[in-house]
Amino acid sequence: MGLLRDTLRELRYYPSAIVGLVIISLLVLFSIYTVIAIPYEEAITLWRGGETVWYRLPRTVPPAWTNLFRSKKLPESLILDSREGAAERTEESLSKGEGKQIRLVYTFNFSYDEFPEDLSLYFYPTYTEKPPFVSVLWVTPDGREIRITDQAVKRGAFRFIQDKKLQRRLRRKVGDFPANVALFADPASTEADEPVPLKGTYRLEVLATTFDQESNLEAELIVYGKVYGIAGTDHLRRDLKVALMWGAPVALAFGLLAAVGTTVTTMIIAAIGVWFSGIVDGIIQRITEVNLMLPLLPILIMIGTFYSRSIWVILGATILFSIFGASIKTYRAIFLQIRESPYIEAARAYGASDFRIIFRYLIPRILPILIPNLVTLIPSFVFLEASLAVLGLGDPILPTWGKLIQDSLSNGALYKGLYYWVLEPSALLMITGLGFAMLGFTLDRVFNPRLREI
Amino acid sequence: MAEQALPVEKGVTAPAGESTFMRLAKYTLMRTVVLFFTVVAGVYVTVIIANMGGYVDEIRRGEIRENISIAVMNNPAYKSYTLEQKRELIEELSRLEEKRLGLDKPFLVRSFFFLRNALTLRLGFAQRMVSDAGSRQVRLIILERLPTTLLLFGTADLLLFFSSVFIALILSRQYGSFWDRVFVALSPTSAAPGWFYGIFLILVFASWLRILPFGDLVDVPPPETPVLYALSVLKHLILPTMAIIIGAIFVSVYSWRTFFLIYSSEDYVELARAKGLSDRTIERRYILRPTLPTIITNFALLVISLWTGAPILETVFNWPGLGRTLFQAIGLFDVPVIVGSTVIFAYLLAITVFLLDILYAIVDPRVRIGGGGGR
């Protein structure tokens, strides 16, 4: 442990090591926070739950903070749910005693420079026989009233853009624009055919008539914006935040396990080979040469396609094929030198067993080379996992950074200019890779004084 | 990295009686034999992995059935048979043929059949993919895509090697300068693979600035004259080559410059300086030469890792090479193509190692003079 303390003390003098350590600690904290804030089960539901989980979010929109850099502010998403008290509610019984009238008034302020992406009204009626009859009225800030729809509603959505009747009505009243534009447009601008949104307070009134006293109606108004949340959304309306957050623990776990598994096993095998020499050493050398000839990624692709895409299977295969890597030769060269040291001879003289010598005398001497190697290996495994995901062989369940990149690339994010979708996971991958690589490179210089002098 | 910079043992003497050429030839022959066995073992491992679920068996069965179907359908002797009779005949003949080829033998025996087929490039028929010329033979599909892959990676590897050596030499001359520190500081960026930078390059040059193509080999439609065609290919080559180079150059410059520095602190370099030799001569004769074997070993490992990354780099750049064929085969679940491409990749690695081995023999005086042998 003295070694560790000395190293840490020395690392203070290397800014890149400090940056690397800070990045790694932040990543670890971020991962712990993620696992606590969005437990595994919840993350899976959020990521793979289907439309019923994602319907509230707009489709492929950048994160909300991008508005800071825009002169024309894009609208944020607005969710007004009467079940959560977001609507002003008045009820009165009808005179005959059969049924009642429910009025839901949604009021919201709209002060953006662009039109929203879409509008939807979700109805949640409760009734026994006859569904409630609903009239919806739109009131603009300048007091114009536009009738949206009159219909009996069952549980479901009214989509403003897709409604033909509304479209016809709007064409007569406002002009030939889709509903999301027509409803928000400044009347002065629609005449010039260059619609600009009218800023101010909008109102949506839902007037429902029920046919018995027990019936009820709740409704949810969603104004889909053009920006969303801290990370934006993808083509399935999923919040990228979930995958970005969960990518961290997955990447760290994969990188760390693969790097530790590989380096430690490689080292032990190299030590055994050197110590027993002869046939054992020869076999290990030959296996290494054959293994160097095996194309790792295509073989992992083969395993992923034929057998299992689970991240743990891929992890196991990765470790297995990396054990006999090029570093075995490096370790071997060093072990060969150590083997000739006098203290090894002394250990033999007092009758230490082979394995005692290997594990107590040979291996500890190589740690100064091993630790930087291990740290530098982590990012290459993190990127390997991402590579497999980009090839469509990512874990079928877990959301990872690589899968985000794959989603974005296969949905043409680069062609369509949806840069946030590509850049967010890439930036996180880059930061993770750089953090470990910076620390690893510095450790290499600290532990190998030959490099430090230069 | 730096561990490979351990100084070579010095004071090797030449045994008399053999010419340099003979020794080189002997060394090359030895390496060829060793590499051949290594490749055979590598391909065997690939076959075994592929066949763990009996996939290669299926490929073979499919191939047999295909051949027999064609033979039966084209044979005038069976012309009077109904479709049902023909199908029965095909079943029967396939069963016999499978038996003849030993597909009913135990796996250990069969695996050697597969090995022989893989080594002779009898890779079977694709299930869904077709080569541009219309053939369904995996070998033809792969051979058709191979040149583009070689073009891309050959260009990138050569550029990478020469620019890295050049920059590393310059930096070792001005140790501690601004650019030296820039390269040292940037060396951790090589932790990310080429395709990763490829995405950024596409974003900047194709999507944002719109001055270079997103990917693919040539413009659509392809230019008519050969000169224009070549220029179009060249234009499409820029971004993927840049991606490969950016992904590797900083770390290789960093470690090669370190090799140069280690060798330039040797006593004989001091002596050469004292003798008053020019800097150029010292660099060429006393620093570059002894460092080259180490650099080539280092470069060999780098090239191997670059080859391995081909499927994804070609996919990102939509480059119609071997790697993208593998990617398409994954999408279509075309088993023979997947296995075939993997085998070809193993060959490519072997050929790369072989070429670099010969280069190593040429630059390493120990091999030429006949001392300590290879690596």
The token pair at B307 is 């080859």
CB contact under 8 A, B192 and A409: no
Amino acid at A64: A
Using a CB–CB cutoff of 8 Å, tell me whether B111 touches chain A: no
The Cα of B176 is separated from the nearest Cα of chain A by a number of Å equal to 9
Using a CB–CB cutoff of 8 Å, tell me whether B355 touches chain A: no
Q: Which residue has the higher pLDDT, A267 or B104?
A: A267
The Cα of A403 is separated from the nearest Cα of chain B by a number of Å equal to 13
**Cα–Cα distance, B183 to B196 (Å, whole number):** 19
Q: Which residues does chain A have within 8 Å of residue B171's beta carbon, measured at their own beta carbons?
A: none
Residue pair A31/A382 in contact (Cβ under 8 Å)? The answer is no
Q: How far is CA A330 from CA A261, A279, A296, B101, B375, in A?
A: 17, 19, 20, 45, 12
Q: Which residues does chain A have within 8 Å of residue B50's beta carbon, measured at their own beta carbons?
A: 302, 306
- The pLDDT, as a whole number, for residue A245 is 94
Q: Which residues does chain B have within 8 Å of residue A24's beta carbon, measured at their own beta carbons?
A: none
Q: Which residue among A296, A304, A434 sits closest to B191, beta carbon to beta carbon?
A: A434
Amino acid at B161: F
Using a CB–CB cutoff of 8 Å, tell me whether B50 touches chain A: yes
The Cα of B69 is separated from the nearest Cα of chain A by a number of Å equal to 27
Number of domains in chain B: 1
CA dihedral sign, ordered B229, B230, B235, B240 = positive
What letter would DSSP give residue A185?
B
Q: Among A306, A309, A374, A406, which would you mutate to test the B interface (most chain B Cβ atoms within 10 Å of its Cβ)?
A: A306
Lowest mean pLDDT among A35-39, A263-267, B129-133, B161-165: B129-133
Residue B78 has pLDDT above 90, yes or no: no
Q: Output the domain CATH number for residue B178.
A: 1.10.3720
The token pair at B252 is 């290789």
B residues 114-173 closer than 8 Å to A (CB): none
Residue pair B245/B161 in contact (Cβ under 8 Å)? The answer is no
Q: Which residue among A295, A387, A448 sits closest to B342, beta carbon to beta carbon?
A: A295
Listed as ranges, residues in chain A with pLDDT below 50 are 453-454
Q: How far is CA A378 from CA A324, A382, A435, B188, in A?
A: 17, 6, 10, 12
**Strands laid side by side in the A133-139 sheet:** A88-93, A100-110, A200-209, A133-139, A145-152
Residue pair A68/A163 in contact (Cβ under 8 Å)? The answer is no
CB contact under 8 A, B339 and A423: no
Asked whether residue B295 is domain-assigned, the answer is yes
**Cα–Cα distance, A139 to B161 (Å, whole number):** 69
CB contact under 8 A, A451 and B190: no
The Cα of A219 is separated from the nearest Cα of chain B by a number of Å equal to 42
The Cα of A432 is separated from the nearest Cα of chain B by a number of Å equal to 10
The Cα of B330 is separated from the nearest Cα of chain A by a number of Å equal to 7
- The pLDDT, as a whole number, for residue A2 is 64
Asked whether residue B216 is domain-assigned, the answer is yes
- The pLDDT, as a whole number, for residue B369 is 62
CB contact under 8 A, A294 and B4: no
CB contact under 8 A, B315 and A390: yes
Residue B7 has pLDDT above 50, yes or no: no
**Cα–Cα distance, B288 to B9 (Å, whole number):** 17
Asked whether residue B305 is domain-assigned, the answer is yes
Q: What pLDDT digit, counting tens, does each position of B263-313 carry?
A: 888 888 888 888 888 888 888 888 888 888 889 888 988 998 888 889 999
Asked whether residue B278 is domain-assigned, the answer is yes
Angle between helices B178-186 and B138-173 (to 10 degrees): 140
Using a CB–CB cutoff of 8 Å, tell me whether B22 touches chain A: no
Q: Which residues does chain B have within 8 Å of residue A419's beta carbon, measured at their own beta carbons?
A: 203, 207
- The pLDDT, as a whole number, for residue A449 is 65
Calculate the CA dihedral of residues B207, B210, B211, B217 and round it to 10 degrees: 60
CB contact under 8 A, B315 and A391: yes
The Cα of A299 is separated from the nearest Cα of chain B by a number of Å equal to 7
The token pair at B341 is 């491409």
Query: For B200, which residue in chain A has the nearest alpha carbon?
Result: A423
Residue pair A121/A207 in contact (Cβ under 8 Å)? The answer is no
- The pLDDT, as a whole number, for residue A348 is 87
- The pLDDT, as a whole number, for residue B56 is 66
Query: For A291, which residue in chain B has the nearest alpha carbon?
Result: B42
The range of the structural domain enclosing residue B202 comes to 161-333
Query: For B354, which residue in chain A has the nearest alpha carbon?
Result: A293
CB contact under 8 A, B203 and A419: yes
The Cα of B211 is separated from the nearest Cα of chain A by a number of Å equal to 14
Q: Domains of chain A (ranges plus CATH)?
A: 2-48+239-453 (1.10.3720), 72-224 (2.60.120.380)
CB contact under 8 A, A437 and B189: yes
Q: Which residue among A405, A422, A434 sits closest to B188, beta carbon to beta carbon?
A: A434
Asked whether residue B203 is domain-assigned, the answer is yes
Asked whether residue B41 is domain-assigned, the answer is no
Closest to A394 measured CA to CA, from B330, B119, B363? B330
B residues 242-271 closer than 8 Å to A (CB): 258, 261-262, 265
| Assembly ipTM | 0.84
The Cα of A268 is separated from the nearest Cα of chain B by a number of Å equal to 18
Q: Which residues does chain A have within 8 Å of residue B353's beta carbon, measured at their own beta carbons?
A: 292-293
Residue pair B122/B331 in contact (Cβ under 8 Å)? The answer is no
**Cα–Cα distance, B94 to A341 (Å, whole number):** 66
Q: Among A302, A331, A384, which would you mutate to test the B interface (most chain B Cβ atoms within 10 Å of its Cβ)?
A: A302
Q: Among B153, B199, B210, B297, which would you mutate to test the A interface (most chain A Cβ atoms within 10 Å of its Cβ)?
A: B199
CB contact under 8 A, B301 and A387: no
Asked whether residue B180 is domain-assigned, the answer is yes
CB contact under 8 A, B188 and A16: yes
CB contact under 8 A, A444 and B50: no
Q: Which residue among A307, A441, A444 sits closest to B53, beta carbon to beta carbon?
A: A307
Q: DSSP of A365-395, one letter per residue?
A: HHHHHHHHHHHHHHHHHHHHHHHHIIIIIS-
Calculate the CA dihedral of residues A284, A290, A296, A299 and round it to 10 degrees: -110
CB burial of residue A280 (10 Å; 0-12, 13-18, 19+): middle
Mean pLDDT of chain B: 83
Q: Which residues does chain B have within 8 Å of residue A387's beta carbon, measured at their own beta carbons?
A: 193, 195, 309, 312
Q: What pLDDT digit, counting tens, does each position of B36-48 carry?
A: 888 888 888 887 8
Q: How far is CA B29 from CA A271, A293, B35, B353, B358, in A?
A: 31, 19, 10, 14, 10
Asked whether residue B262 is domain-assigned, the answer is yes
CB contact under 8 A, B311 and A301: yes
CB contact under 8 A, A333 and B191: no
Query: For A382, which residue in chain B has the nearest alpha carbon?
Result: B192
Interface size, chain A vs chain B, as Cβ–Cβ contacts under 8 Å: 161
The Cα of B225 is separated from the nearest Cα of chain A by a number of Å equal to 29
- The pLDDT, as a whole number, for residue A11 is 82
CB contact under 8 A, A451 and B258: yes
Q: Which residue among B55, B195, B353 sits closest to A387, beta carbon to beta carbon?
A: B195
